[in-house]
Structure formats: C-alpha cells, structure tokens
Structure 1
Amino acid sequence: MSPSHSNDEAESTAGSTTHNQRLKRSKRGKYVSKACLECRRRKLKCSGEEPCQRCIRYGKECCFSEDHAAAEILRSMNRIGRPRMYGYPPTSGTPSQAGPSASAGPSGSSGMTGAATVALGSQTMGIMQGGNGLTLEERMERLEAKVEALAASRLAEQNGPDASGFQGDTAFEAAGNALKANLTSVKRQLGISLSPSTAPISSITSSGVDPSPTGSTSAADYTYIKRVESQSMPFPNAGEYARYIDFFFEDINPFHSCVSEPEFRARSERFLTRHDVDPADMPFFALNYIIFSCVDILQDVSCENQSKGQLPGWQWFLTADDLVGKRQVTGRGDLALLQFTVYEAFYLMHADKWNAAYNISGLACRLCFQNGLHQQSRYGPDCTPFYVHLRQRILWTAYYLDRRISLSCGRPYAMRDLDLDVNLPDWLDDKLIIPGRPVPPPAPEKSANVYLSAMVAYARLTGDVWDELFSARGAKESTPETILVLDNRIKQWYENMLPTFPLIPRMGEPTRRHLRQELLITTRFNYLRLLLRRRTLIAMNYDRATGQICGDLNVDTVNRLQAFVDELSSPSSFRYHMATTLGGAILFLATLLARYLSQIGLQDMQPIYAESFKTAVQMLRDLAEHLESARRILHNLQDIIHVIETLLSKSGLQGQEEYANFVPTNLDSLFAYGMLDFPAQITDGPGGDLFPSDAINSLDWV
C-alpha cells in the first residue's frame, strides 16, 4: 500500500471520529433547572418532573424546594453521613472516632464526629444570616419542617408488618439530630423562642393523636424525643404516655402481674426527665415499648391497621426487640428484661403469631432459671422483701404463660415443677408495695396475686393433662380411665379448692376486674375438662354421659359470657378471651347438634344446645366487627356454622335417616381445628408442623 493511500485512510477515519463526537454532543440529555431533594441528597441526576422518574422508579417521596438553604444543609448532611450510609471507609479529614458523639449505636452505626457537628452548626448559622425575603423565624421553621418530613419518610420506609428490624437511615438521622441541636443553639443566639419539638418532654403537647382509650396510635405519630447513643427514637408525649401506662395497669397487668406499679411509675418519672437513655436503662426502655405494643393491639377497635396489612403496635414491638438485641440471649439485664420477655410473648400471642410466642415464652423461662428466680434460697440476704415478692411474681407469671401457650401450640412446656422451689407471692395490694418500705398487710380483695395463685394451680393441672394424655409417652399409654382420673382431679380442685380463693370480695361490691377474673378461671376450667374429650366429640362416637357433660359445660360457658355482652366493643384484653372461648363453644356445640341426639337419649337437650349455639354465633359475629382474632375464628368455623344453621332451620325432622340427609358425609373435615392429637400434627420433615400459617391451628383452648 502506498504512503499517500494510507494517509488518506487515516484522515478519513479521523474525520469520521470527529463527526461521531459532534453527534454525541448534540444528543446530550435535556438540561433541567431544578432537582428534587432526594436526587440532591443522593447526588444523582433528576428528570426535573414532579414527581421525578427516579423517585417513581424506587418508590421514594419526591419533593422540590427552592430554598437554597435547605439544599445546602442537606448536602452537608449527606457529605457527613456518606461513609456510614454506603459502607465506604471514612474520607480524609473525617476522623473515624471522635469521642462519645461517634460511638456506635444499637444498629452498629457510628454517630457524627464532633468536628463535623461543629462545622455543620457554623454552616447553618451562616446560611441563616442570608435571606430571600423571609424572616429568620420563617426560614428556621421551613428548614425544620423539611428535615422532619424527610426523617419521617425515612422512618416510614422501614416500618411494615414484615420488617425485620426498626432501623432507619442512621446516617441521615444522626445528621438530622445534629442539625436540630444546632438549630436550637442558633435560635438562642438570635433570640428566637424554642419550638415545642425542642422543649422538654413535660411541655410537649399531643400531635393530633386521639387521646381517647379507643385511639389507635403508632410510632410514626410521635416526635423524636429519646436518644439512644447516636439514634433518636420515637416516644409518646406526656399525655399519650400516661394513657398507655394507665390502660396497662388497669387492664393488662392485673391478669399477668409481673410488674410493680409503684416501682414502674417511680422509675418512669426519673426516666422521662432525661432525653438521653442510659445503657443500663435499656431493658426498662424496651419494656416501655412492649407495653405500648400490647396496649395498641388490645385497643384496636376499628381494625384499620389490619385492613392495611399492619398489626397494631408492630412498630413499637420492632423497636423494643431491636433495643434488647442480644440481651435476651446473654441474659444481661435487670428484672425489667424478664418482664419485657413475658410481655413480648403476650403480644405475639394476641397477634396470632403462636410459633414465635412459644419460642419467647420458653426464653422467658430460661431467663428465670439463668437469673436464679426458680430457687428462693438463692435470692441472697441482700434481696429485700420487695424484690423477693417481685421475683416470685415474675417467676409464676412466666410459669403460667408458658403452660398456657405450650398447650395451645400442642408442644412441651419449658418449666417443670421439679425444678422450682419458690413460694407463691402473698396476696398484697400492688399499689402499696413500694421499694425500701415495709411490706403492707395482706389485702386479698385488692390483690392481683389471688388470680395469679389460682392460675398457677390451673397451669399445674394443664401440665398433668399434657404429661398423661398428649405427650409422646402419654399418647401411647393413655386409656379411657386416664381421662376419667384427670377429669375427676380437675373437677375436685374446681369444686373444693377454688372457693377458698377470694376472687370475689366477701364484703363490698366486686369491681369489673373481679368479675372478669372469676369468669376467666371458670371458663378455662370448663375447657380443660372439654379438652380431655375433644377427640371423642369430633369423632362423633360419644355416649350419653360424655355428651351431657360436654353440653352442660358449653351451655354454662355461653351463659356466663352473655353477661358480658356489653363489653364486646370495649377495648380490653378480655375480648380476646371472649373470642377464643366463643369459638370453642361453637365447635363443641356443633358436634352435639350435628348428631341425631335421640340415639343417645339427649333429644330433650337439643333445644337448649341450639339456643346456646345461636347465642354464641351471634356474639362472635358482633365481636368480629371489632377484633381481628374474632374474624379469623369466625372465618375458620363458617362451614360448620352453615351446616348447623341449615339443620336448625329444618323443623320437624324425624328419624336418623331423614336427619342424615342434611349432614354432609365429610362432616369431620368441616371442623376447622381438627383433632387435638398434637403429636399427629407435627411432622418429621423439613416442613415442621401442619399449621397452615404462623397462626395456631387450634383455638386458644387454655
């Protein structure tokens, strides 16, 4: 090839390249004059539309601001938080450690460095001195509002029913906290009054949250006012906090009495005066959050959260669980850690997360062992009478809850009587038991420990039922005589021993708590006796004696519940027991009404059973308008309810054959909760149990 030809080709190639470059430059993307705050924060190109394409694609909240001061602050926050947000190593000039302000928080994220905080404060002051026609007060309010909106957006992104944790964008959050602190300082320098969000907790007013007992609130409704190292945590204002705690000690704690009201309130008063949470107070801080979650799930009257797929109190629950962290595994903490674990199981039980409730109740028992609560002789001479009493209450509450949840799940219980050497707590008035003061005299009519003592005796009987009838060995060796012996033992205790417990005051009018506690014990003993015969009833091969015993127990239960019909719409823990007890009565009465009772000589009882069945179904339907668990039970029983209602509408049926025409041949498959043969419901394969979901496949029988 000649040199001249080569030069021509080179010139041609160069010209083509230059032409392509011009084309690329001419196709440059559209220039936009503004960008949303999210794209500015992430330093990404924005499409300039509202909302922009990037925010639409990633589901972000898109907002624009012409306030250059806000943009400058956000850029500073992004620059300071970048190493933690994206996992990059610290940039030059950003110390990896800077004293307490840079210590790691619960999520493992470090806080802002002291130098960065000072720099941000100085920069904030400089920007505020500028102006674009607004007063300083207006500019401060606008900037605070933007930061709060973005922080709330970050929190909302992390909160949901399936969230594995309650951790937001800690880098953005830490910078936001530093900004708020510096804004407060700037306001003081400029002589501007502080806003309520920067004032002490006692002066914070309700932020539009319904303070009534039926108001359902969540973590996203509150101002960030509690600091845990580098994190700010949502916490109720003074009015909402009082509502939560009052409901807890009025409705929940008397039935699971492991928290001392005077000690809790005294500790809360000291706790509420500080914005920063001491690491030693972390279990108590978490106990507060789990109390909030329990109250929310019991007060959810409208059930709006369930319609959105969110459990009431779930955000509080995740926050509490995150605060405790590994303390539950290691056992590091005070008695508040054990109290927290008991109420964590309580919440999961009411949330229909029974597998998790079973695990947590077992953990509560192991923590009691680990902290020596199971042997009173190990309490030591330094344990005051107050703490001896409190330890007894915690131990026996965990014992009762363990037996209740374990039998409902059809699994072995964790705390055995042979391992316990602890007295039952005295029947004292909880409001008068104060640390450092002499123990008051017994006051059975005001003590929640009367109910606790009765439930401990009941829990021991449930352990006998499990060991002799449903355990691996009991399922193989039990006989009809075993059922008779157990039934006689339960009946004898109920008729002879229970009357010695002053559940109803012998003098004066009983309170609503007294009446509820008596009903709870009576119906649970009824169902423990029914539990012994459940296989026989569902198999439809019971005799006259068995049918009459079960019929009488169920009619008695429905009649007792009917006296509380006015409480169906009132938020309380009692409604949950009403729902499960009504569901059990419907199931057992259906086994009687689906059979031609003349065969076993119970035809005269059929109208009584039918009336009780109709009453129970109507009460459950009314309760389902207010309670998620009632709706779940009603849905599971709808097929058998339809069959029985059809039978009852056919008056004048004569003979077994005519009656059988309206009873499906697959009737046993319509009983939603199957047989109570727990070992048969557990598989050996990787699938675990045969429960269709985390919700239990049997009613809360106990």
Structure 2
Amino acid sequence: MDFEARLARLEKAFPQQAELPDGDDASPSAGSDWLSPSVAQNDRSSLLENDPDQMDEAIRGGTSARKTIADLDQLIPPDKSVEQPVALNHCPFARYNAFPDCCERELLVWTSRMNYRNHDQDQNTLRRYFTFLNPHYPCLNESRFFSDLQTYSTSDISTLRNREALQFVALVYLLVALMKILEGYCTESSAIPGWQEFNRASHLLSHNTHMGRGDVQTANCFIIKALYLLYIEEYNASYEAVSQAVRLCYQNGLNRQSTWKDCTPFEVHMRQRIFWSIYCLDRTVAQVSGMPYLLRDTEHRVDLPAAVNDQMLNAGDLLPEETPEHSASPYQHNIVRWGQLSAEVWDKMYGLNAESTISDEYVVTMDARLILLRDRFPKHLQWRGELSTSPGARETPRYIVRQAYILHLRVNHLRLLLQRQSMVGSDFRQRAAEICLPIASDSIMTIYNTHFSSLHQELERYSSITYLTGAMIPVACIILKGGPQNNLREDAISLYQKAMMVFQDISSGFALARAMLKRLRRIVSAVELNIRGRDKTAMVSQTSRAFHVADMDTNMDNCLELNQYSVNMFDLLYDATLDAPLDDAAILEFRSFDQFG
C-alpha cells in the first residue's frame, strides 16, 4: 500500500473536530471546546457540592478541614449513595506557531464588551478588586493595570494578535470572575458566578502557556486563577495553578533577586510583590487542601517589598517614601511570617516525615510563637472587635479592617490545627478542650459579630465559611465527646448555634457554604441529636423519676415543649440542603466517645 493511501486510512480513524462558531457566539456557550453555561449549570454539583477532587482523604494532610471532617465522618455509618463527578471538557490547540483563530474571535468579543456592552459594570468590578482584594495579594499595580486596560480596549484588533494582549485579556476575565464568585448570589438552580469568564480566560491561557511558555505577567494570571478555583473548592485545580505560578517563579528568576540586573526600582518592587504573593498563596492553598507546600525557604532569596502606597507608585520614578499605614506590604510581611510557621507545623505534624507523637512541649512552644506573632502585628493590623461594630469604624479603610480580620482568623486557625490531632483522636483530653474552646470562641464570635454588622460585605463570605468550619470542629468534638457533667458543654452549644446562624445566613446564596454544610451534614445531625438527647434526659429526670424505661421515648417527646433546645435547627434551617438526621443507632456510636480521657 502506498504512503498516501495509508495516511488517508489513518486520518479516517480519528474523529473529525467540530468547527468553532464565528462572531460573538464564540463563547463558552457554543463550540465543542468550551464548557457551556448549561453544562456548567448541570456540573455545578460536581464542582461545588460533591468532592470534586476525588482524592483519597487518607492521603490528604491533616491541615485540611476536609480531612478532619472525613475522620469524624468515619464514626458515623457511611452514606449509601455515591455521586460520580463530571469531567471538564478540553479545548484543542491550534497550530503551535500560528495565532489561533479562536483566540482572535475572543479578542473581538472582549473589545466589544469593554467598550460597549459591559463597560461600566466591568470597570466598577475591577475597581472593587483593587480596593478590597489586591491588598491581600498585591501582585498588580492599579495605575499600571488601568493604563494597560485603556490601551488594549481601544486598540485595533490587528494590534492585539500577540501573546501580551492575549495574556492581559485573560487577566481581566479572571479578575471579573474572581469578584463575581465572591460577591455573586448563587442559588441551587443558578450557574456558578464567573464561570463563563473563567472558561474564557483558561482557554486563552492554555494557548499562551503551551509547551511551558510564560513570563512574570503569566504568573499573575495563575495567582488569580488559583484564587478563583480555591473559592469554588476545586482544590486540586487550585493547587495545580499554584504549581504553574511556582514554575514560572523559577523559570523567570523571580526567586533570585540578584538576577534582576536591568530592572527599574518600580519593576524590582513589583517583582517582590509578585513573588511573595505566590509564596503566601502557596502556603494558603497547601493548608486548605492538605497537600505539601511547593516553595521551600531554601530555594529563594528575595527581599520583602517596601511599605509604599500603591497609588503613589509611578513606573518611571524612584519609589515614594514608605507609608506603612497606607500600604498593603505590612500585611504581606506578616502573612509571610504566618506562612513560615504554617510550613513548620506541616513538616512537624502533617508531612510525610511527620512525627507520630507530637510532644506537648512542641505544641506549647509553637502556640506561644503564634501568639507572639499576633501581638507583634502593626497597630493598624491588630484586630479589635469595634472595627466591625463601632460607629467610627467607617473611618478606617475597609481593606485595613479586612486585613486585620484575616490575620486574626489565620492565627487562630493555625493554633487550632496544633490541637486538632488530640481533639479528633480517641484520646480526647479535657486539657485540649480547655485550650481549644477559647480560641474557637474568639473566631466564631469575631465572624458572627462581623457578619451581622452594618459593615458586612459579601466578599467576606469565603473567609467566614473557611475559618468558621475550622472553629466548629473542636466545638463539635466537645459536644459529642464531652461527658454529661462537662463544664465546657454549655459554652460549646452556644458557640455551635451562633456558627450555624452564620452558615444559615450565607448558605442561601453562596455555593461553598452549601457544599460545606453537605459535607458536615452527619456531624451536624449528630450534634443536634446529641444536644436534644442530653436535654431530653435531663428534663425527664427533673420532671418525674417515675417514668418507666420502656416509655422513655414517649415521655421525653411530651417534655420537648419545655426544652430550650427542642427546635431542631438541622431540620428547620437546612432541610433544602442536607440529608435526613441520623437515627438513634448512629448516635449511640458517638456515646462511646462521650468521656474525656
């Protein structure tokens, strides 16, 4: 058989690829290489409310709340129903050296959006990003960004056929997606906020980073991409985006300041901010996902950025005078220190070479180091309850309040991680409960008071749910494992109820909260029935000692109207999102853990 005939036969063996649509319809809703809104809506449960990672919790590190929830979940009979995730579609690549036609169509859609259809809305969204979120991961300079936005959005399409323009468009889409997921109201029947913009950006980035390409600005895109994926609980994908950013750090010398020979002071400053943003994000994603951090302290030599006001920066001038109280850098400096301690906790307690038995001396010493870190925060970053409740709180810039809020909760969260093994283990001790409850109380009350204050913002929901879950774990352990005479029980019940009030208020419009509630469903149900069961027993004892054991259930039901905990919060608040409560047999399994060791 000749060569041409063989080639023709081989070509017939491969499926023909569908053509991409032309014009404005070249979007995630049309074309075989996009995930359409309808598919995204149908896949919503796999992205947010199931376990999208499909990662064995046994190999996930103990810093992950999901690992701890899974450990507690083992005490309860397993669910019989198992839902399978739906895989995401992939975009085929065009020719390696040619500018892809699908990308050119995307640029047309983007310029139309920026200049006509969504101009004011997107501009306001991007302004809010720089006001509230960029100070936490200050990888972008506001004036430089909006200057580039003006240039690219008003340019002729023929001048945008390059990697730099493609990359900037992807960045804009990612920023809009990030703000949508944090601020958007998402019900059970609605699509994931920002999902369409995220898909557009991912498509453009896939072409721009093919075969390992990428520069410092590409790293910025992966920072924002990792954050979006983190906020929709796609931990594996977020971890992968961080790994891409880390690779670009090494590939472009971001980890070695001595190699930045021809950079201006502005460029050096921005490179420092980008590197440390990746560093902090790496530690955050690693802790939440329960996987090892990627940037080791032995592999970088980069100075911390100067504490200058971002709005005073000019690309062509020397750096302005440092003004720490008007700069994002002090927050970044302290998150770096927090990240270093977080890495130490991982290596000692949760890593592959972690010690099987952690000494009390180590826990006490590390806890003291965390308290010292908290006490050494700059005055304007010290959390005070009045920052969210007092009439004068509006005078403090909101990003400063949010920075202080996050720093405070992160320190508490890491302090609780130090105690998590003793809280969840079978040797649960009274001393551990006495240490954890005040920390958990501080976090829960901070979140509760802030959430129900007049200054509450929707973009705080992710942080509230993340750190609320971490604080609820020891509270649930105290309720489920504490003895009937335990003096911490009543305080734990009060904290549990406040935490559930926040969950209830957020879950109606935030998919992550609903997903976390479903993951906690059996633990929540066990806690509810434990509270009611204990109170029933106490009420029966006080009402009459003549009840016969065989009639106990009937008599207890008659007493429920007098019981302050008679209303089952689980049934009333979460019927739309949670499974039915556990039966009595499941609760009996928890009774075996009721006494402190």
TM-score, normalised by the number of residues in structure 2 = 0.70
Q: Judging changes above 3 Å, is the alpha-carbon distance between structure 1 residues 351 and 358 closer, same or farther for their aligned structure 2 residues?
A: same
In the alignment, is residue 498 of structure 1 matched against residue 377 of structure 2? yes
1:550 to 423, 436, 442: 436
Superposed CA offset, 1:323-367 (max 9, x none)? 122543655444321100111111111111101111111221121
Question: Which fold has the larger relative contact order, with Cα–Cα distance below 8 Å and residues 6 or more apart in sequence?
Answer: 2
Residue 307 of structure 1 aligns to which amino acid in structure 2? S
**Bigger Rg over Cα:** 1
Post-superposition shift, 1:515? Answer: 1.8
Matched, 1:642 2:515: no
Q: Check the 8 A contact 1:586/1:617 in 2, yes or no.
A: no
- Deviation of residue 481 (structure 1)? 3.5
Residue in 1 aligned with 2:89? Answer: 164
Amino acid of the structure 2 residue aligned with 1:627: F
Matches within 5 A, 1:24-423: 154=30, 158=34, 159=36, 160-161=39-40, 164-165=89-90, 224=109, 226=111, 237-276=118-157, 277-279=160-162, 280-301=164-185, 303-304=186-187, 307-308=189-190, 310-325=191-206, 327-328=208-209, 330=211, 332-380=213-261, 382-423=262-303
Partners of 2:309 and 2:326 within 8 A in 1: yes
CA distance in 2 between partners of 1:513 and 1:274 (Å): 33
Deviations 1:11-33 (A, max 9, x none): xxxxxxxxxxxxxxxxxxxxxxx
Output one character per residue of 1:532-555: Cα deviation in whole Å (capped at 9) or x when no partner.
Answer: 111211225333321111000011
**Contact 2:424–2:477, Cα closer than 8 Å, also in 1:** yes
Deviation at 1:503, TM superposition (A): 5.4
**Which range moves more in the overlay, 242-251 or 259-268?**
242-251
Please tell me whether residue 666 in structure 1 is matched to residue 589 in structure 2.
yes
Query: Given the superposition, is the C-alpha separation of residues 367 and 529 from structure 1 closer, same or farther in structure 2, using an over 3 Å criterion?
Result: same
User: Which residue number in structure 1 is paired with residue 82 of structure 2?
Assistant: none
Assess, with a 3 A threshold, how the Cα gap between structure 1 residues 607 and 149 changes in structure 2: closer, same or farther: closer
- Are 1:511 and 2:511 matched, yes or no? no
Match of 2:325 in 1: 445
Establish whether residue 613 from structure 1 lines up as the match of residue 496 from structure 2: yes
Q: Would the alpha carbon gap of residues 494 and 669 (structure 1) be closer, same or farther in structure 2, given more than 3 Å must change? A: farther
Change (3 A) 1:289 1:567: farther
Whole-angstrom CA distance in 1 between matches of 2:592 and 2:241: 32
Q: Please tell me the root mean square deviation across aligned C-alpha atoms, in Å.
A: 4.1
CA distance in 1, matches of 2:108, 2:161: 20
In structure 2, what is the Cα distance between the partners aligned to 1:570 and 1:155?
40
Distance 1:110 1:538 in 2: 52
CA distance, structure 1, for counterparts of residue 298 and residue 126 of structure 2: 36
Distance 1:152-1:552 versus aligned 2 partners, 3 A rule: closer
Displacement after TM superposition at 1:315 (Å): 1.9
Question: 2:280, 2:336 within 8 Å by CA — same for their partners in 1?
Answer: yes
SS of the residue corresponding to residue 256 of structure 1 reads coil
- In 2, the alpha carbon distance for the partners of 1:589 and 1:625 equals 23
Alpha-carbon distance in 1 for matches of 2:197, 2:220: 16
Give the CA deviation at 1:652.
Answer: 7.5
- Give the match's secondary structure for 2:302: coil
CA deviations on 1:472-531 (whole Å, 9 max, x unpaired) are: 111446444433332232233223x22567457999932222222112111111111111
Paired amino acid for 2:232: A
- Secondary structure in 2 matching 1:474: coil
Aligned to 1:686: none
Q: Please tell me whether residue 433 in structure 1 is matched to residue 318 in structure 2.
A: no
In structure 2, do the counterparts of structure 1 residues 445 and 149 end up closer, same or farther at CA, with 3 Å as the change threshold?
Answer: closer
Q: Deviations over 1:58-90 (max 9, x none)?
A: xxxxxxxxxxxxxxxxxxxxxxxxxxxxx99xx
SS in 2 for 1:403: helix
| Whole-angstrom CA distance in 2 between matches of 1:512 and 1:669 | 47
Contact 2:422/2:428 (CA < 8 Å) preserved in 1?
yes
1:420 CA displacement: 1.4
Cα distance change, pair 569–443 in 1 and its aligned pair in 2 (3 A): closer
Q: How many Å apart are 1:634 and its aligned residue?
A: 1.4
Given the alignment of the two structures, is residue 592 of structure 1 paired with residue 478 of structure 2, yes or no? yes
Asked if structure 2 preserves the Cα contact closer than 8 Å seen for 1:569 and 1:623, the reply is: no
Q: Residues of 1 paired with 2:126 and 2:515: CA distance?
A: 29
Q: Equivalent of 1:580, from 458, 461, 466?
A: 466
Counterpart AA for 2:236? N
- Structure 1 residues 330 and 157 mapped into 2: Cα distance closer, same or farther (>3 Å)? closer
Q: Secondary structure at the match of 1:383?
A: coil
Question: Closer, same or farther in 2 for the Cα pair 1:499/1:254, shift >3 Å?
Answer: closer
Deviation by residue 1:27-72 (Cα, 9 ceiling, x = unmatched): xxxxxxxxxxxxxxxxxxxxxxxxxxxxxxxxxxxxxxxxxxxxxx
Give, in angstroms, the shift of residue 148 of structure 1: 6.8
What is the CA-CA distance between 1:663 and the residue it aligns to? Answer: 8.0
Q: 2:364 aligns with which of 453, 472, 484?
A: 484
Q: How far did residue 378 of structure 1 move?
A: 0.9
Q: For the Cα contact (< 8 Å) 1:300–1:571, is it kept in 2?
A: no
Match of 2:337 in 1: 457
The aligned length equals: 473
Q: Which amino acid aligns with 1:498?
A: F
SS in 1 for 2:143: helix
Q: Residue in 2 aligned with 1:539?
A: 425
Alpha-carbon distance in structure 2 between the residues aligned to 1:546 and 1:348: 34
The separation in 1 between residues aligned to 2:243 and 2:591, in whole angstroms, is: 33
1:530 corresponds in structure 2 to: 416
Paired residue type of 2:438:
D
In structure 2, what is the Cα distance between the partners aligned to 1:224 and 1:574? Answer: 31
How far, CA to CA, are the matches of 1:611 and 1:596 in structure 2? 15
The alignment's TM-score, normalised by the length of structure 1, stands at 0.60
The 3-state SS of whatever aligns with 1:408 is helix
Task: Tell me the equivalent position of 1:143.
Answer: none
The answer for unaligned runs of 5 or more in structure 2 is 1-10, 41-86, 542-551, 553-583
Q: Distance in 1 between matches of 2:446 and 2:131?
A: 22
Q: What amino acid does structure 1 have at the position aligned with 2:589? A: N
Gaps of 5+ in 1: 1-86, 89-106, 113-146, 179-218, 671-702
- 1:281-329: CA deviation from partner (whole Å, max 9, x where unpaired): 222221111112212212221x15x525x42222222221221225436
Distance of aligned partners of 1:165 and 1:595 in 2 relative to their CA distance in 1, 3 Å threshold: closer
Give the Cα–Cα distance (whole angstroms) in 2 for the partners of residues 565 and 233 of structure 1: 34
> Compared with structure 1, are the counterparts of its residues 256 and 668 closer, same or farther at alpha carbon in structure 2 (3 Å cutoff)?
farther
Amino acid at match of 2:510: L
Structure 2 CA distance for aligned equivalents of residues 555 and 663 of structure 1: 28
